[in-house]
Structures are given as C-alpha cells and as structure tokens.
Structure 1
Amino acid sequence: MLDGWARRKLDPALDRLAAGLASAGISANAVTLASFAIGMAAAATIAAGHLATGLVLILVSRLGDGLDGAVARIRGKTDLGGYLDILLDFFFYGAIPLGFAVADPQANALPAAALIFSFYVNGASFLAFSVLAERRKLSTLARGEKSIFFTTGLAEATETLAVFVAFCLLPGWFAVIAYPFAAVCLYTALSRIILAVRQFG
C-alpha cells in the first residue's frame, strides 16, 4: 500500500547511489546477492538475540534491495536479475520471522509460523497472478518498471519492513504484531484472488 509513496521519496537518492555503483562496474546482481547475504546475517543475528544489530542489518539489506533495481535501470535489466530479486526477497521475508522463532521458541514459534504461512499464501497469489498476466501480455507501472507484473496490495514491502523494525524495537510484542499482520497479508492474498477471478474468469 505504501510502496508507491516510499518509491517517490527514496528513488532520487537511490538513483544517485546507483549511478556511483554502476560507474564503479558493480552489477545489479552483485547488489542483489550482497543484500541477500546481509539479510541472512540479520536473521542469524536476531536468532542469536542481538536485535539492535539485526535491525541495522535489516535496514542495510533493504537499502540494497532498492538499489539493485536502480543499478539495473542504468546498466540494463536481465531476466536472471529479475528472478534473483524476487526469489531472494522471499528468502529474506521468511528468514526474519524464523530468526525470532529461534531466539524465543516458546513465545514466538507459533506467531512466526502463522506469519510465514501468510507470506507463503500471499506470495503464491502474487506469483500466480504474475504468470497469467504475462501470458495475457498485461503490463503495469503501478510500482515502477519491474521484471514481472506487480499487483498492488495492502501488505507490500514497506509495510513488511515496518513490521520487522517493530519486531526488533518491541520484541516482547512479537505475537501482538505478527498475528494482525498475518491477517493483513491473508486479506491482501484474498483481494488478489478476487482480482484474478474478475480479470481471468
């Protein structure tokens, strides 16, 4: 829901950073892989109980996630780059709740499982819609130029990042935050299913 607003605020700064990376010969895929590694380090750090460090790593990882697309726009987009971007994003989104579950299984395992389940359903609805949209030659610029068709929704990257930040700042409220956001993700998936019925039915 907030991704469009966030893009308008952040894209000018990201474009300037991306220009420097591109001129240094750094590829978009290299930025994607580095961001993924930092994201996995964030999950491991959170699992070890170091939430402040985990929070910093999450923010750096998501900065890289925005930068890779900006670098790709300068150096040229590739199908592999688009594939890696979406695939490794899903790794990241599952790893952070898992890190909290490992850190405190008794308090966090069930809400983390519910959240990861909602991510799974939401992601499946997103990717399945994208496949059919590609088959029908549909296009959208609602979230800028992307490698695959992006359907908007109530729960997007900006909202997910805000939730992960809240987990780090308020770890005792993990379940209180996770369950409602899981419901938001499932609502987003349901709205996308309804859209698919109308679009493809």
Structure 2
Amino acid sequence: MLDATMRKMIDPPLNQLGRWLARWGMTANAMTILGLLLGLLSAVMIACGRMELALVPLLLSRLADGLDGAIARATQKTDFGGYLDIAADFLFYGAVPFAFVLADPAHNGISGAFLLTSFYFNGTSFLGYAILAEKHGLETTSQGSKSLYYSNGLLEGTETIAFFVLLCLLPGYFAPLAWSFGALCFATATLRIIGASALFSKNR
C-alpha cells in the first residue's frame, strides 16, 4: 500500500547511488546476492536471540535490494536479474519469521507457521497475477520500472520491512504481531484474487 509513495522519495537518491556503483563495476546481480546474504545474516542473528543487532544487516539488505534495481537501470535490465531479485526477496521474507520460530519455538511456533503460510499464499497470488498481467500485456510503473508486474495490495514491501523491524524491537510480542500481520496477508491475497477475477475472467 505504501510502496508507490515510498518509491517517489527513495528512487532519486537510489538511482544516483546506483549510477555511481555501476561506474565502479558493481553489477545488479552481485548487489542482489549481497542483499540476500545480509538478510540471511540478520536471520541468523535473530535465531541466536540477538534481535537488536539483527536490525543493522536487515536494513542494509533492504538498501541493497533497492540498489540492485538502480544499478540495473543505470546499466542493463535483464529478465534473469528480475527473476533472481524476486527469488532472493522471497527467501529473505521466509527466513526472518523462521528465525523467530527458531529463537523461541515454544512460544513462536504456531504463530510463525501461520505467518509463513500467509506469506506463501500472498506470494503465490502476487506471482500468479504477474504471470496473467504479462500474458495480457499489462505494465505498471507505480513502483518504478520492474521486470515483473507489481500488483498493489494492503501489504507490500514497505509494510513488511516495517513489520520485521517491529518484531526485532518487540520480540516478546512476536505471536500477536504474527497473527495480525498474517491475517492481513490473507486479506491482501484474497483481494488480489478478487481483482484478478474481475480483470481476467472474460479471457478465461
């Protein structure tokens, strides 16, 4: 819901930094991998109970996630680059809740499983929508130039990162936060499917 607004604010400085990094030889795919490694490092810290320290690599990983697209725009966008980026994002998004489950399985196990199920459902609705949009030649620029069609929803990347930060700051409240955010993920996916039905049903 907030991604389009955030993009207007962060894209100009990201694009400038992306051009600078590209001139120094950094590639978009290398930045994607760096961002993933930082995200996984954050997950390891969470699993070890160091949530406050995990915030640093977590936020740096999301900076890298923004910079890979900026570098691609400064050099050359590729289909594989977009594919690698979304695959890395989904691994990161799954690793963080799993890390909280590992940190305290007795208290976080069931709520963490619910949260991961909601991510799975929401991610599938997102990718399925992107496939249909590509098939019908639809394009979106509300969240910047993307390799995949990005459908809007109640919860997007901005909200998810804010949620992860909140979990790190308030780890004792993981269960109620996970139940709440997971329910919103289910709502987001359901609304996306309803929207897809209205847009694509005439072509079934």
State the TM-score, normalizing by the size of structure 2: 0.97
Point out where structure 2 has 5 or more consecutive residues left out of the alignment: none
CA distance in 2, matches of 1:151, 1:111: 27
* Partner in structure 2 of residue 112 of structure 1: 112
Is it true that 1:199 corresponds to 2:199 in the alignment? Answer: yes
Q: Deviations over 1:110-151 (max 9, x none)?
A: 111111100000000010111111111111112111101110
* Partner in structure 1 of residue 165 of structure 2: 165
* Partner in structure 1 of residue 39 of structure 2: 39
* Partner in structure 2 of residue 184 of structure 1: 184
Identity %, equivalent residues: 50
Mapping of residues 63-82 of structure 1, within 5 Å:
63-82=63-82
Q: Deviations over 1:73-116 (max 9, x none)?
A: 00110011000000110000000000000000011111111111
Q: Secondary structure at the match of 1:123?
A: helix
Is it true that 1:52 corresponds to 2:52 in the alignment? Answer: yes
CA distance in 1, matches of 2:9, 2:106: 39
Deviation beyond 3 Å, 4+ runs, structure 1 = none
Residues 150-159 or 134-143, more deviating? 134-143
CA distance in 2, matches of 1:151, 1:14: 22
* Partner in structure 2 of residue 95 of structure 1: 95
TM-fit CA distance, 1:170: 0.4
CA distance in 2, matches of 1:6, 1:132: 26
* Partner in structure 1 of residue 132 of structure 2: 132
Q: Which amino acid aligns with 1:136?
A: H
CA distance in 1, matches of 2:105, 2:99: 10
CA distance in 2, matches of 1:31, 1:160: 20
Is it true that 1:26 corresponds to 2:26 in the alignment? Answer: yes
CA distance in 2, matches of 1:80, 1:159: 26
CA distance in 1, matches of 2:67, 2:109: 32
Q: Which amino acid aligns with 2:64?
A: G
CA distance in 2, matches of 1:133, 1:19: 30
CA distance in 1, matches of 2:39, 2:140: 28
Point out where structure 1 has 5 or more consecutive residues left out of the alignment: none
Q: Secondary structure at the match of 2:52?
A: helix
CA distance in 1, matches of 2:154, 2:136: 24
TM-fit CA distance, 1:53: 1.5
CA distance in 2, matches of 1:135, 1:119: 24
State the TM-score, normalizing by the size of structure 1: 0.98
